[in-house]
Amino acid sequence: MEERKSVKWGFIGCGEATERHAIPAFSALPEAEIVAVMSRTQSHARDFAHKHHIRRWYNDAQNLVTDPDIDAVYIATPPSTHATYAVSALMAGKAVYVEKPLATHYDDCLRINRVSARYGLPCFVAYYRRYLPYFQRVKSLIEEGAVGKVLTAQIRFAAAPREFDYNNRNLPWRLQPDIAGGGYFYDLAPHQLDLLQHLFGPVVEAQGYTANRGGLYTAEDTVAASMLFHSGMPASGTWSFVAHESAREDRILILGDGGQLSFSVFSYSPLHLINMKGEYHIKVDNPSFVQLPLLREIHDHLLGHSICRCDSVSATPTNWVMDRILGKI
């Protein structure tokens, strides 16, 4: 049998994530070919396909997942549709790559895992930060003992409201819990929580307190959480999405018995390490297309060269933690 040299993709969703992140990253991979796109609005699908020189477009996801020319499906839609589209694609015999979070409910993650196992097909999840040089440097510093034995970790995130947060008659979908799974917490915390579990193993206990302190919308805008890892390490997190601009913060702090390490999750500011040897600000550059390292791993997996572990099974614990913090389970 001739060895397959490329992967033919169908895209479900033609929004911002696809336009800004996926198209450039997929286009940088010679072994990736985008053969079809789907949007519920036919004119949008057609225009998107023409703009990016994609030969087929659909306005029905079932027609895309059953397209015989497609090997794998990328899903970049609001989270409430992730499980439905992922299950449909897997049952149609396609591998899947889905944006985070995997789903809006922990139970839907389990359903995706069951279908993936039943059909013997992978469902990869876009926790691409695991593969970026910036976070790999964080991991290596911890493993090398730069802060000694890790005692605890703290997530600290604060941001001011965005302009469209004030329009409660036309809120973005990220502030509609039935579509997003929660408020901005459910959109941004997945990357932070996935990274901590990538660094320290699974969280086995989690609880949280939520509030709406700004009154701009009905979803939670303030979250405080405590967590316990399987290793016995405790951790905590606070999130505010209605803070004053002066309080803006994007930081994870790792405290050890030999020092401390702090880093950002979204701004990639220099790592800040303090230990007995001194104080260091470590700049680490990432590739221009942040999804590219993970996509290389996914394509190597699909072409039979290696195994990519950034899949729905490894992503499910993050949904469990978030749902515990928000009191959904």
2 within some domain: no
Q: Kindly report the three-state secondary structure assignment for every residue of 151-177.
A: EEEEEEEECCCCHHHHCCCCCCHHHCH
Q: Report how far residue 302's alpha carbon sits from residue 306's, in angstroms, rounded to the nearest whole number.
A: 8
314 within some domain: no
Residue 3: per-residue pLDDT: 66
List the one residue out of 229, 258, 25, 273 whose CA is nearest residue 137. 273
* CB-based contact 217:175 (threshold 8 Å): yes
Q: Mark whether 294 and 281 lie in a shared domain.
A: no
321 within some domain: no
17 within some domain: yes
Q: Where are the alpha helices (DSSP H) in 173-311?
A: 177-180, 184-200, 292-302
Structural domain of 214? 133-286
255 within some domain: yes
Q: Mark whether 137 and 281 lie in a shared domain.
A: yes
Q: Mark whether 42 and 20 lie in a shared domain.
A: yes
Q: Mark whether 181 and 105 lie in a shared domain.
A: no
Laid out side by side, the sheet with 234-240 consists of: 203-211, 222-229, 234-240, 150-158, 249-256, 259-263, 271-275, 278-282
CATH of the domain at 47: 3.40.50.720
Residue 16: per-residue pLDDT: 86
Contacts for 134 with CB less than 8 Å, ≥ 6 apart: 263, 268, 271, 284, 285, 286
Number of domains in the chain: 2
Q: Mark whether 169 and 74 lie in a shared domain.
A: no
326 within some domain: no
Our CA dihedral for 111, 203, 121, 110, rounded to 10 degrees, sits at: 0
Tens digit of each residue's pLDDT, the chain (329 residues)? 346 789 999 999 999 889 999 999 999 999 999 999 999 999 999 999 999 999 999 999 999 999 999 999 999 999 999 999 999 999 999 999 999 999 999 999 999 999 999 999 999 999 999 999 999 999 999 999 999 999 999 999 999 999 999 998 899 999 999 999 999 999 999 999 999 999 999 999 999 999 999 999 999 999 999 999 999 999 999 999 999 999 999 999 999 999 999 999 999 999 999 999 999 999 999 999 999 999 999 999 999 999 999 999 999 999 999 999 999 99
318 within some domain: no
Q: Mark whether 23 and 122 lie in a shared domain.
A: yes
Q: Mark whether 169 and 149 lie in a shared domain.
A: yes
324 within some domain: no
CATH of the domain at 195: 3.30.360.10
Q: Mark whether 15 and 27 lie in a shared domain.
A: yes
List the one residue out of 79, 98, 91, 149 whose CA is nearest residue 322. 79
Q: Mark whether 260 and 301 lie in a shared domain.
A: no
Q: Mark whether 213 and 272 lie in a shared domain.
A: yes
* CB-based contact 32:5 (threshold 8 Å): no
| DSSP type of residue 246 | G
* CB-based contact 158:291 (threshold 8 Å): no
Q: Mark whether 114 and 183 lie in a shared domain.
A: no
Q: Mark whether 159 and 81 lie in a shared domain.
A: no
Residue 278: per-residue pLDDT: 98
